[in-house]
Amino acid sequence: MAITTRSVEESCVAARRAARELASASTATKDAALEATARLLGERTEEILEANAADLADERAAGLTQALRDRLTLTAERVAAMADGVKAVLSLEDPVGEELERKTLSSGLDLRKVRVPLGVVAVVYEARPNVTIDCATLTIKSGNAIVLRGSSYAERSNGALAAVVREALGEAGLPEDAVVLLTSGDRDELAELATQEGTVDLLIPRGGEGLKTALKDVATVPVIYAAAGNCHVYVHADADLEMARRIVVNAKTQRPGVCNAAETLLVDAAVAADFLPEALTALSGAGVELVGDERVRELAGGVEVGTATDADWDSEYLDLKLAIAVVDSLDDAIDHINAHGTGHSEAIVSSSQAAAGRFTAGVDAAVVYTNASTRFTDGFEFGMGAEIGNSTQKLHARGPIGLRELTTYKYVVRGDGQIRE
């Protein structure tokens, strides 16, 4: 069974036992588990899609927005993409055992700094079943066990996917409890998971500010918040306006229900009259609901633009909605982003290297782009194979969390009888 009926504590203890075994597993053994996972995803596609169809038909999913239903929905192509992601992680170098530093101390001791797994990683996530595979794949390769707590909306889908990975672990001779999926319970279960000191080494919540707040109130284990993405695109005075239009439309519409989609467009006053009419027409034509400040609405022509409220500048819509403002300078754009952004991904469109440099230096975010869509903030796109989330904080990981971000290090010291005087 992938979905455990054990208590949270029992599940975490089981994962801890599995983590000890996985930490010393060879790269070949871990890779065998990943090879089996990719193969079984193909063989079990029909079962996975049946489970997903049941989730989509469940009354619990009836009230989801279209964007959230898109995140929940699996297709044969998306399952195949999961398998491709597993293969991409499989092809990456095993980070465990990597020597980060080596030197001989004045005492004659040989000191090595070596990369090691964290131990047990717990991930809390919402209605995206592919996260089950991404997270499990990364933790297996990096020698960690994982405790997964998905959304009740995706209970059947997650169960089918976790069952695939557990079967693959067994085939490779690794403990199945290296991947444990909790039942999608209430807030009490979440609080219990967040307080498993001694068994859980790191908790990664993937969700909005509500989940982040709930965990901040109770968590006693270390937490990396893969939190909200209130991302901006700033069109600078020296921008190629056609390039800017394509970037903005892509950043907003390519997949609006994800954390790296743009939620706010800032346009320099020097180019607003030339840029906005065509850009607003393109966005509206793509089905985007637009809200803006007074200057944006004055330049909208025949495009409907609602009045932006103070709350709009701080909103992660995760939907086809965009807030737009005209700013008077590069510094004003930077100030706006630092005041309202969540530290996820920010972009400037400009032909000026000096302006791009000031933007990159001045914006406080995990990923800053020049002349590119924010949609590229993704572990797969960054060559990490997959990601377990995008960290919007600064310790110990920032941006996409991949294999190396799921490790720590230890010092290994060898002597020949030294004692300290």
Three-class DSSP labels, 160-217: HHHHHHHHHHHHCCCCHHHEEECCCCCHHHHHHHCCCCCCCCEEEEECCHHHHHHHHC
Q: Which pTM was predicted?
A: 0.88
Q: What's the confidence (pLDDT) of residue 66?
A: 81
CB burial of 52-72 (b: ≥16 within 10 Å; e: otherwise) equals beebbeeeebeeeeebbeebb
Which sequence spans correspond to the domains of the chain?
8-226+388-414, 231-376
Residue type, 235: V
Which residues are CB-neighbours of 228 under 8 A, at least 6 positions away?
208, 209, 212, 259, 316, 342, 344, 392
Beta strands in 249-297 (DSSP E): 262-268, 289-292
Q: Which residues of the chain have pLDDT under 50?
A: 1-2
Specify whether the CB–CB gap between 263 and 241 falls below 8 A.
Answer: no
Collapsed DSSP state (helix, strand, coil) of residue 355 = helix
Give the per-residue pLDDT at 1. 41
CA distance 239 to 79: 39
Task: Kindly give, in sequence order, each residue whose CB lies less than 8 Å from that of residue 217, ignoring residues fewer than 6 positions away.
Answer: none
- Report the distance separating Cα 64 and Cα 50, nearest Å: 19
> 110 near 415, Cβ under 8 Å?
yes
Structure tokens at 92: 């990456």
What's at 193, amino acid-wise? L
Encoding tokens for residue 404?
């190396």
Tokens representing residue 217 in the block: 């109130």
- The DSSP element (H or E) to which 57 belongs, if any, is helix 45-57
- The architecture of the domain spanning 231-376 is 3-Layer(aba) Sandwich (3.40)
Q: What is the CA radius of gyration of the chain?
A: 23
- Amino acid (one-letter) located at 204: I
Are 388 and 123 within 8 A, CB to CB? yes
- Sign (positive/negative) of CA torsion 363, 318, 122, 378? negative
Greatest distance between any 2 Cα atoms in the chain: 83
Cβ contacts of 419 within 8 Å, gap of 6 or more? none
pLDDT at 246: 98
Q: Tens digits of per-residue pLDDT, 204-213?
A: 998 777 888 8
At 159, list the tokens. 């169960």
Rounded to 10°, the helix 76-90/130-141 angle is 10
* 376 token code pair: 């590229």
Task: Residue 135: name the closest of 116, 162, 159, 100 by CA.
Answer: 162
Q: CB–CB of 259/290 below 8 Å? A: no
Asked whether 408 and 118 are in contact (CB, 8 A), the reply is yes
Distance CA 138, CA 202 (A): 14
Distance spanning both ends of the chain, measured CA to CA: 57
Other Cβ atoms closer than 10 A to 109: 13
- What are 209's two structure tokens? 């500010």
The set of residues, in sequence order, having a beta carbon less than 8 Å from that of 396 and lying 6+ positions away, is 224, 405, 408
Three-class DSSP category at 117: strand
Residues 370, 373, 379, 380, Cα dihedral to 10°: -120
The predicted structure's pLDDT at residue 298: 97
Instruction: Give domain 8-226+388-414's CATH architecture.
Output: 3-Layer(aba) Sandwich (3.40)
Q: Which pair of structure tokens corresponds to residue 96?
A: 């465990």
